[in-house]
Amino acid sequence: MSLITAIKSGDAARAPGRRDEAFRWTDLRGALGTVPAVTDARQPVGDGTAPEGVLLRRHAAPVGSGVDETLLTVKAGETLRLIDHICAGEGAYVRDLALPIVLEAGASLIRLVLVEDGAEAITYCRSDVTLSSGASFRQTVLAGGAKRQRIETTVAHPGLGASVELNGAYIVDAQRHTDQTTRIAHSGRDGASRQLVRGVAADRGRGVFQGLIAVAEGADGTDARLKHNALLLSDRAEIDAKPELEIFADDVACAHGNTVGALDEDALFYAMSRGLPLEVARRLLIGAFLGEIVERIGDADLEALGRAFLTRRLEALAS
Amino acid sequence: MLRISDLHVSVAGNSILKGLSLDLPAGEVHAIMGPNGAGKSTLSYTLAGRGGYEVTGGSALFDGEDLFALDASERAAKGLFLSFQYPLEIPGVPALTFVREALNAQRKHRGEAEIGAPEFLKRARAAATMLKMDFEMLKRGLNVGFSGGEKKRMEVFQMAILEPRLLILDETDSGLDIDALKIVSEGVNALRGAGRSMLVITHYQRLLDYIRPDRVHVLAKGRIVASGGPELALDLEREGYDRFEPAA
């Protein structure tokens, strides 16, 4: 049961749907209807411009359905800055994008994933990330929603010496949906991981966050923190969040937190009392709320791009 | 400059202001004193335009214009400024950015050109120096991690930059030690002038030693029950508010 088999067989019933626990909030089967034909025709990719020393991968949207898999290996001791730009296309396309990553010993990767889609699109992007000892992986996902959109990251954390930080932000409005699902599997001793995801759902938008931290037997000394905060900007918007800890080791420090609330009315009044019109004040506060994610990207060039992405999305935000 | 007539305000269905009238001419500083629960904060929030304060009767004119026809940001653009008793923290928005955005939003509303970065920084540095504020602090999130005194200085800093014509100081002395009170008061006094009026709302007379009012009004049970010169504040300090609050 996967989106790939559904696309390859042309049978929507083979896509995961809401009866599957892991997809109960992101019903791909229900959204599919019929599966568009697989085609190689793509949107023109263009060069794109990346800051010097940054690897930019532009993943064009298919016309119809598309399946793609690209492996990235960061060699031992090397350092890489990577942008995965998942580009929007026209109409009701469906794509399954697999972007596995291997970090060899001592390798370091800062990854920014910018996800743009049309309102009728179904995008499922998954990355299995494997770290060797001493490797460092720092990822930020910024997503704006689609008909169905899921960005899934699974990290195999070997413990001591390796470090993992998974952050994300999302903004959804109209009838857009987005899902950030993560799983960090701690298998070795004394591993640390940090996670902060923030989201905003306006209008009839729907945001989903599922974060699992699994600590295997023997992975003592694991220190894992996971936090999700979301703002609901309308009565018809929806946030579904499931932070989970699965711990089979004895001596660990793990914590998860989840908050969903409205925009702070007091702060809004304060800003307005200084002369900021309501919409400007709202955007200022939302931008500040999500801006803390951008500040954690960990690289000035990528932060500038992340900030521009959020600003564009905020300016288009329907209330 | 500000004329309040027979103002009635309810909060969550409870009547708080019950026929308050007040005339604040241009260039004057008036103090409003009153016991807890008299309606002091309700008055300042109602004038500034906070949601949840329902005007059930009366009017407030600012330069002849109906204040209640404007939202909070429009009132600010017209020159009204409320200094909060408890200024809010806004993480992620540097204090300087916030004030500059506010200034330019006001200027835009008034049809004036935006102020450029160099000119803004010049004004900001001058205001920070006057208020003995660390300029580096202004690059941090607005009021985040500021002490009570620093937050009040930040309010006066905003006044100095935004140059409002009508200032409402809501319990500006609360949470200040004597040194901070002096600095904040000097900052406020530096803004006194012919074209600018102030409403100083306070529980204690102490603040009025530093910001000398032209007139003092006593607010009790939702109305102005006495008005007089600065000496009225001293009487209140000596005798308390009891004589204005006859047992019901």
Q: Could you report the per-residue pLDDT of B143-201, keeping only the tens digit for each?
A: 999 988 889 889 999 999 999 999 999 988 887 888 888 888 888 888 888 889 999 99
In angstroms, the separation between the Cα of residue A231 and the nearest Cα of chain B is 15
Mean pLDDT for A70-86 is 95
Name which of A144, A113, A112 is nearest A312 in CA terms: A144
CA-CA distance, B216 to B229, in Å (whole number)?
6
DSSP A23: G
CA-CA distance, A60 to B8, in Å (whole number)?
62
Structure confidence at residue A43 (pLDDT) = 54
Q: Is the pLDDT of residue A47 over 60?
A: no
Tell me the pLDDT band of B131, cut-offs 50, 70 and 90.
confident
Q: Which tokens go with A78? A: 């090397």
Angle made by CA atoms B59, B64, B68, in degrees to the nearest 5 = 40
CA-CA distance, B38 to B223, in Å (whole number)?
8
CA-CA distance, A103 to A78, in Å (whole number)?
9
Structure confidence at residue B236 (pLDDT) = 82
Following CA atoms B54, B57, B60, B65 in sequence, which dihedral angle do they give, to the nearest 10 degrees?
Answer: 100
Q: Which of B71, B92, B103 sits opposite A272 (nearest CB)?
A: B71
CA-CA distance, A145 to A176, in Å (whole number)?
5
Q: Is the pLDDT of residue A169 over 80?
A: yes
Are A273 and B76 in contact (CB < 8 Å)? yes
CA-CA distance, A145 to A173, in Å (whole number)?
8
Backbone φ, ψ for residue A162 (5° rounding): -90, 150
Are A267 and B50 in contact (CB < 8 Å)? no
Q: Which of B71, B88, B109 sits opposite A267 (nearest CB)?
A: B88
Tell me the pLDDT band of A318, cut-offs 50, 70 and 90.
low
Instruction: Provide the mean pLDDT of chain A.
Output: 93
| Strands in chain A per DSSP E | 54-59, 65-69, 72-74, 79-86, 94-98, 101-103, 108-115, 122-131, 136-143, 148-157, 163-172, 177-186, 192-201, 206-215, 223-232, 238-247, 253-261
Name which of B45, B7, B59 is nearest B199 in CA terms: B45
Task: Establish if A277 touches chain B: CB-CB under 8 angstroms.
Answer: yes
Are B101 and A280 in contact (CB < 8 Å)? yes
Q: Which tokens go with A271? A: 């800003």
3-state secondary structure of B190: coil
CB B104 within 8 A of CB B115: yes
Are B92 and A292 in contact (CB < 8 Å)? yes
Structure confidence at residue B248 (pLDDT) = 42
Mean pLDDT for A56-75 is 92
Angle made by CA atoms A273, A274, A276, in degrees to the nearest 5 = 90
CB A155 within 8 A of CB A167: no
CB A181 within 8 A of CB A149: no
What is the model's pTM? 0.88
Q: B160 to chain A: which residues are within 8 Å by CB?
A: none
Q: A266 to chain B: which residues are within 8 Å by CB?
A: 88
DSSP B97: H
Cα of first residue to Cα of last residue in chain B, in angstroms, is 35
Q: B76 to chain A: which residues are within 8 Å by CB?
A: 272-275
Tell me the pLDDT band of A265, cut-offs 50, 70 and 90.
very high
**Residues of B at the A interface, defined by Cβ within 8 angstroms:** 48-51, 71-73, 75-77, 81-82, 84, 87-93, 98-99, 101-103, 105-106, 109, 141, 158, 162
Q: Kindly report the length of chain A.
A: 319
Task: Establish if A271 touches chain B: CB-CB under 8 angstroms.
Answer: yes
Neighbours of A257 (CB within 10 A): 11
Q: A278 to chain B: which residues are within 8 Å by CB?
A: 71, 73
For A265-274, A291-300, B65-74, B143-152, which range has the lowest pLDDT when averaged over its residues? B143-152
Q: Which of B49, B93, B105 sits opposite A288 (nearest CB)?
A: B93
In angstroms, the separation between the Cα of residue A169 and the nearest Cα of chain B is 15
Mean pLDDT for A200-227 is 96
Backbone φ, ψ for residue B125 (5° rounding): -65, -40
CB A225 within 8 A of CB A194: yes
Q: Which residue of A has its CA nearest to B163?
A: A274
Rg (CA), chain A: 19
Q: Who contacts B129 (Cβ-Cβ below 8 Å, separation ≥6)?
A: none
CA-CA distance, A150 to A46, in Å (whole number)?
25
Q: Who contacts B14 (Cβ-Cβ below 8 Å, separation ≥6)?
A: none
Please report the residues numbered 279 through 298 in chain A whose beta carbons come closer than 8 angstroms to any beta carbon of chain B: 280-281, 284-285, 287-289, 291-292, 295
Backbone φ, ψ for residue A46 (5° rounding): 70, 175
CB A3 within 8 A of CB A124: yes
Q: Which of B48, B73, B92 sits opposite A278 (nearest CB)?
A: B73
Tell me the pLDDT band of A55, cut-offs 50, 70 and 90.
very high
For A43-57, A146-160, B45-59, B169-183, which range has the lowest pLDDT when averaged over its residues? A43-57
Q: Is the pLDDT of residue B206 over 50?
A: yes
Q: B71 to chain A: which residues are within 8 Å by CB?
A: 272, 277-278
Q: Which residue of B has its CA nearest to A272?
A: B73
Residue showing tokens 């060797």: A132
In the A/B pair of chains, how many CB contacts fall below 8 A?
80
Mean pLDDT for B17-24 is 95
Q: Which of A271, A274, A278 sits opposite B71 (nearest CB)?
A: A278
